[in-house]
Amino acid sequence: MPETVTTPVENADRPPLASEVRAIRRDFPILDQTVNGHPLAYLDNAATSQKPQAVIDAVQRFYSVNNSNVSRGVHTLAERATEEYEKARAAVRHFINAPHSNEIVFVRGVTEAVNLVAASYGRSRVGPGDEIVISEMEHHSNIIPWQILCKEKGAVLRVLPITDDGDLRMPEFEQLLSPRTRLVSVTHISNVLGTVNQVRRMVELAHLRNIPVFVDGAQAVPHRPVDVREMGCDFYAFSGHKIYGPTGIGVLYGRAELLEEMSPYQAGGGMIGSVSFAATTYRPAPFKFEAGTPNIAGAIGLGIAIDYVRTLGMERIAAYEQGLLDYAATRLSAIPWVRIIGGPRERSSILSFVADGVHPHDVGTVLDDYGIAIRSGHHCAEPLHKRLGLVASARVSLAFYNTEEEIDRLIEALHRVREIFS
């Protein structure tokens, strides 16, 4: 039977998160600094988010007090480390409302999660002439592993196009699904356009044809509630460093029956049941996918990061960030020589734009002179930029510790960009 999940009900009487942002910012020590003589305005959260002191302290505490390997010792430190590691797994399960803790695999991030599913699930189920469906807005991490698999197996990668506004063409999605489709892999939220995709509907349509669905949740989990049971997906992945946790740790959720059927992705210590020169047996999921010494401190830090955002309330985070995004869109749209890319029906946390006559790298460089950190380039989504007729873009990506004052500084600095390059 599924383990009982107790998701806290948010108190409707709690004030909006805006009333707490000043105090929240004090939880993030990196924000209290100047860059090039200006207060840091960190607007690059889609690349990686900053870490609250609670996460930093948890990682330091592990190495200072509890450092040991997990699942392999009977001494006190080993037991402490294992307890904290598995506590983090339980925190992840509760956070995304997975039925079982054994459906939570710790990986390095979404990149490894996609590669794991492609190698373990894909190789055993994809053959010549079969098809894998992705979308035109995918991050490279959700393109290349499937390309490699298709090349190896003689399969075909099918690409769902987007509209000019940056939404997936849903009628064409149904048409792409065929008896040869073996998997759909799609992003929950675009890391360039901020498009919130209709993943639940995509899962429903795919499941009508018994096609499993992998969802890349890297840009969704930090910004809105995610419920994998309600979504119905077969696999869901996210990276810890984007949700205020350490780097080098991430999560792959997979339905228990699928994980049990899948072969190990890597082999080594910790994932075995018994080894002989004749044959080896493996531990059940998730452990058979966690070969070697895992990122124990990273998992513990991720668990604390999840506790942190749950305390703030994901609904409150989503509401505050949406207001901030709307404010940023309004201010940017008022600049005649700036063009925001796309206009999807629903957008979350991300605005990418181009400035007339100025390369995005130059935009980012000048903004840095004023202590403002944004991202410039193709954001590991080169095919999407080509579809949009762009080489690169400038990207502003928001978190709950950002403020309208930082957006105002961004706008002021953009006017300085115009003066420099006019």
Which residues are designated catalytic?
380
Find the Cα–Cα–Cα–Cα dihedral 86, 221, 406, 332, rounded to 10°: 170
In terms of phi and psi (left: phi > 0; alpha: psi -120 to 50; beta: otherwise), the region of 298 is: alpha
Q: What are all long-range contacts of 57-65, with beta carbons under 8 Å and residues at least 24 apart?
A: 58/300, 58/301, 58/303, 58/304, 59/246, 59/297, 59/298, 59/300, 59/301, 62/296, 62/297, 62/300, 63/297
Secondary structure of residue 339 in the 3-state scheme: strand
Partners of 216 in beta bridges = 187, 237
Residue 284: DSSP 8-state: P
For residue 43, the number of C-alpha atoms closer than 13 Å in the C-beta half-sphere is 30
Q: What's the N-to-C CA distance of the chain in angstroms?
A: 66
Distance CA(349)–CA(167), nearest Å, equals: 16
